Copies of this chain bind each other. A is one copy, B any other.
């Protein structure tokens, strides 16, 4: 079923969610919120999130990321490395302000965009790797687990701590987590809202390798992408999507259902109160 989506009549790979006309990539390309750099030698594209102070996934940043992912995929890059231009935070996760007393219509738009972003990255036709060079809580971790490989700098946090701010994640986020970390560990971590330190993340397999600094992280991602050199690219893409299809089947079959579940829950007083007191807590910490 997914097979049909990947090759167009001219035999080129086609992204799952294409949002705009293709643009040519030339060396470094800068939008306001993301940077794409293509290494001429390796053919690998590095996509940096670039929204100060902490790469919060606002609607605008997500738009830019989806465009950048599609662009990289269509321009036959050899692989995609996701990283942050901020060495403290990879991404702080979703823009929680969008979840606080939201207007239903805007919330629907916000969540649909997050679904789009995740699908674009999770099913991306080319090899993907995350150079986690800063903290990666919540949706920051979700983005990292959507990639095929993760390397991480020391003394950082990664994990899905949604229950700490009363949020209940969607099934596809759980399945993505379980595709990387054993089921038993995932259930407990999700229930606790656990954030793992770099070394713990390595121990449970949430992260594949440590790196001393950002350059080493990028190099390890590039070395990972090179492990696919002997594979036929289209067969690789089809195989990747077959492996990942069970995780997204429910979402693809019923995106409206996932949207409704999420929006309905976010609008409950229970969640709103929980989020409120979480945000108060963060304020008091500062």
Please give the residue numbers on chain A whose beta carbons come within 8 Å of chain B beta carbons, in ascending order. 3, 7, 11, 127, 148-149, 162-169, 171, 174, 178-184, 186-188, 190-194, 205, 227-228, 230-232, 234-236, 238-240, 242-244, 261, 265, 269-271, 274
A9 CB to closest chain B CB (Å) equals 12
Decide if A163 touches B239 in the complex (CB within 8 Å): yes
When A162-B239, A182-B182, A184-B180 are in contact, do A191 and B274 touch as well, CB less than 8 Å?
no
- 7 cross-chain pairs, A with B, having the tightest CB-CB distances, nearest first: A163-B231, A166-B232, A187-B243, A163-B235, A168-B238, A166-B235, A232-B274
Decide if A187 touches B240 in the complex (CB within 8 Å): yes
Beta-carbon nearest neighbor of A179 in chain B: B183
19 A–B contacts, CB within 8 A, in A order: A3-B261, A11-B269, A127-B191, A163-B231, A167-B235, A168-B235, A168-B238, A168-B242, A178-B183, A179-B183, A186-B243, A187-B240, A187-B243, A190-B243, A191-B243, A192-B230, A234-B270, A234-B274, A235-B271
Decide if A236 touches B187 in the complex (CB within 8 Å): no
A94 CB to closest chain B CB (Å) equals 15
Q: Which of B164, B167, B194, B235 contacts A274 (CB 8 A)?
A: B235
A188 CB to closest chain B CB (Å) equals 7
Q: How many copies does the complex hold?
A: 3
Decide if A231 touches B11 in the complex (CB within 8 Å): no
Decide if A166 touches B234 in the complex (CB within 8 Å): yes
Beta-carbon nearest neighbor of A264 in chain B: B3
A180 CB to closest chain B CB (Å) equals 5
Q: Which of B174, B188, B232 contacts A163 (CB 8 A)?
A: B232
When A3-B265, A270-B234 are in contact, do A148 and B240 touch as well, CB less than 8 Å?
no
* Cβ contacts under 8 Å, A191 to chain B: 127, 148, 228, 231, 236, 239-240, 243
* Cβ contacts under 8 Å, A171 to chain B: 242
Decide if A232 touches B184 in the complex (CB within 8 Å): no
Beta-carbon nearest neighbor of A185 in chain B: B205
When A148-B187, A180-B184, A228-B191 are in contact, do A169 and B239 touch as well, CB less than 8 Å?
yes
* Cβ contacts under 8 Å, A168 to chain B: 3, 235, 238-239, 242
Decide if A190 touches B239 in the complex (CB within 8 Å): yes
A177 CB to closest chain B CB (Å) equals 10
Beta-carbon nearest neighbor of A148 in chain B: B188
When A205-B184, A235-B166, A239-B163 are in contact, do A230 and B270 touch as well, CB less than 8 Å?
no
